[in-house]
Structures are given as structure tokens and as C-alpha cells.
Amino acid sequence: MPKSQLRSQLNLSESGEDYLKAIFQLREELRRTHDSDLVTTNALAARLGVAPGSVTGMVKKLADLELVTHAPYRGVNLTEVGERLALELVRHHRLLELYLTRVVGFRWDEVHDQADALEHAISEEFEDRIDEMLGNPAYDPHGDPIPTKEGQITGPELAPLAAMIPDPDRIYTIVRVLTQDPTLLRYLDQLRLTPGTHIRLMARAPFGGDLRVATETAECLISPLIAGVMLVMHSGH
């Protein structure tokens, strides 16, 4: 079923769409770290900047629409339809981020908030046009995978640089950064630590100290916190 039908049939509010997307993203994060599928009320409230009571209310509404399953006092999960809808929103968001950087000329630290506003307002036709204009891209400016029109989302196995063992002979490729913080994004840009860059992890200071990272042209020190949001892949060589 094309998304336009799904979205217009359900006539979901912008707020409802935000909840769905937040549930999807929090679940992704849970799967990366823990092994859970259930998103808690508090986590959702924090993410959306809303009181916990508001979350319970909206979650009930979404459960009535069969977009989520709700186990009271335990957590929320997406149904198949809910996940599909969430993926369509994530697709909008990430396509827009890439469009805003590649076509409109924004920096990668400027696009998240704009995409958050635009993702609810664009038409399916607009989505299709920019997808084509961008050559059916698979990744957004931060390396986040863009779901296909059919709702498929894939990507290589990635691990944070923070989990790697220093080895000057091993080359990694930066694939994705797990942050939308403009300040951090600008800082990474300045150090040329952006998706696509080849790096080597030279050394790690003891007791949670900084990591020494070499690009092809320079070396720098980054905190474990930063290394935790940089997802890398083993590079050939």
C-alpha cells in the first residue's frame, strides 16, 4: 500500500506521527545497546519533551488505531502497520536532510530541525521527485540509512569507534554518526571526521582518556563520548 493512502486513510495528526517516529527510533537505540523491544513511557516523554501523562494518553490513542501495542506499566511497541508508517516518516526525514545539504546548500548541522518540520508537510510526489533528483540515495548526511519506498531499511554491521582496539595498521571507514547535536556536528566537520573518511585508531589513553585518531592528513584526539557516536566499518587494506 502506498504511503499516501496509509497516511491519509488514518488521518493521523502531526503529533501522532511524532510519537510513532520517536517509538521507532528509541526502539532502534534499545536494540543497539540492550536487547529490548519495549519503549518506556518515560523515555518517550523525555524524547518528545512532554509529560509522562501525555504519553500514556497518546499511546492509548495509537493502540486504538492498532498502530502500537501497549502493555500497561511495561512499554510500547509498534505493530506492523505502525512500523510501516514510522518508516515512511523516517524516509521523509532523511531524504529531506540529504536534499537540504546536497541541493539547497545547508551544512549537515543545520538540517535536522528543518527536516523535522518539513517531514509532515511534503507530499508523496515531492518525496519521489527529490528521491529521483538525489539518485535514490541509501544514506543521509549523517550516514543514517534511508528506508526504501517499500519500507526496507538495511545497512552494514557497524560498531562504535570507542569499542575498537588501537592498531595503527588497521584502517576504518567512518560510516555514521549517532548525533544531531549541531555543535558536535560542526566540531566533527572541523576535524574532517565525517562519513566516508578513512581513519586509524592509533592509541587510547588509560582510564577512559582520549583516543588518538589519524586521518590521511592529520591526527587528533577525541573523547570517548565522541568515539561512542562514531560508527565505523573495517576498511579494505
**Which residues of the chain form contacts with its own copies (CB under 8 A)?**
100, 104-106, 110, 114, 117-118, 120-123, 125-126, 129-130, 133
* Interactions with DNA, residue window 1-40 (CB under 7 A): 13-16, 18, 40
Task: Report the C-alpha gap between 59 and 49 in whole angstroms.
Answer: 15
Q: Please, which residues bridge with residue 198 across strands?
A: 173
Of 18 and 144, CB closest to Mn ion: 144
Residues 6+ apart with CB under 8 A from 48: 18, 19, 22, 55
How far does CA 60 lie from the centroid of its chain? 26
* Helix, strand, coil % in the chain, rounded to nearest 5: 45, 15, 40
Residue reference for cell 560508527: 231
Helices (H) and strands (E) in the chain, counts: 9, 8
Mask for 158-197, x = binds DNA (CB under 7 A) = ----------------------------------------
Judged by CB under 7 A, does residue 82 bind DNA? no
- Selection from DNA, Mn ion, its own copies, none that 118 binds (CB < 5 to 8 A by kind) is its own copies
Stretch that binds DNA, among 23-31, 48-56, 109-117, 151-159 (CB under 7 A): 48-56
Amino acid at 151: G
Q: Rounded to the nearest whole angstrom, what is the least distance from the CB of residue 52 to its own copies in the complex?
A: 25
Residue reference for cell 579494505: 236
Give contact residues for DNA (rule: CB under 7 A).
13-16, 18, 40-43, 48-61, 70, 72-75
